Amino acid sequence: MRTLTGCEALREALREEMRRDKTVFCLGEDIGVYGGAFGVTRGLLDAFGPERVLDTPISEAGFTGVAIGAALAGSRPVVEIMFMDFILLAFDQLANMAAKSRYVFGPHAACPLVIRTPGGGGRGYGPTHSQSLEALFAHIPGLKIVAPSTPADAKTLLKAAIRDDNPVLFVEHKLLYSLRGEVPARASSRVERLGKARVVRKGRDVTIVAWSWMTELARRAARDLAEAGVDAEVVDLRTLSPLDSETVMTSVARTGRLLIVEEGCRTGGFAAEIGFQAFESVFDRLDAPIRRVTCPDVPISASPVLEQAALPSQTAIAAAAAALMTDEI
């Protein structure tokens, strides 16, 4: 095993896939000479040249449209959108073109497009650079959504996304870039299957469901809970669409308690979808009401104090799970 940062693992995945398949190319703002806003594409321009690592104008709708056209024509473009907040400028292209290509043009109109974008808060970037918007895109049929929580998953899931014949939104939490973790040395030949959650910690008392950076916080909260005598199971969704409901519901049916952690805003969030699916599927196995820990319905502040007050925390997750142990239906 090697220890890599999330940034290094993502760069390795891109490098390996570009070597393996000459139809893979990257495009986005400042990804070439500068190496990307968070350094993920650093060195790729020297390795593959300007025809496969393209610096684009500041026009998310424009270069996303170019990538969709290239994907429909047989290439496998990987787009970097500098901050997830800016993806709204390309929402029409993704929702009405990429996601619907097979439905409109037939099963042979593959659109193997990956949109990489940094999401989430925690770095004081303020309300227009800190949002978690994956719930908006989960409402769009035909679009896959991936949100890794570890460097190892960042690498293998990105490789799987690049090889997928459907458009994939690949959400990279900003705090994942510096997170260190073990990545198998032979991971170049290992590709994950999209749509499979993972139980990252076994437990018997309560199920905590999370994704992206919230999974890391849930792991830490589970350690705190263990010291207090609560045995929490942590399920990392890894992909929101397709959603692995079976793994989630199997866990909830066994523990009888469900806590969902989401960094996005509370109203209309993806946590509500998971909770209602549990209500429909395993209500008779629940011993307590379903709870969720989310960001309140407020923009994320640039003030570190206000930002931390809004974002879900390790302490808040542990407290919510502990409270579930005394709740009853």
Here the contacts of 280-285 (C-beta below 8 Å, separation 24 or greater) are 281/245, 281/249, 282/249, 282/252, 282/253, 285/252, 285/253, 285/256
Residue 122 C-alpha from the chain's centroid: 16
Q: Positive or negative CA dihedral for 10, 16, 20, 26?
A: positive
**Is-catalytic flag, 60?**
yes
85 vs 88: CA distance, rounded Å: 6
In the set 8, 12, 17, 60, the catalytic residue is: 60
Amino acid residing at 258: L
The CA distances from residue 268 to 28, 275, 276, in Å, are 30, 12, 12
293 vs 260: CA distance, rounded Å: 6
Contact 136, 80 (CB under 8 A): no
In the set 129, 172, 273, 307, the catalytic residue is: 129
Dig out the tokens for 284 from the structure. 């008779």
**Is-catalytic flag, 80?**
no
Contact 148, 174 (CB under 8 A): no
159 vs 168: CA distance, rounded Å: 11
Amino acid residing at 270: F
Beta bridge partners of 24: 76
The secondary structure of residue 301, as a DSSP letter, is P
Contact 218, 269 (CB under 8 A): no
166 vs 62: CA distance, rounded Å: 20
Catalytic residues: 60, 129
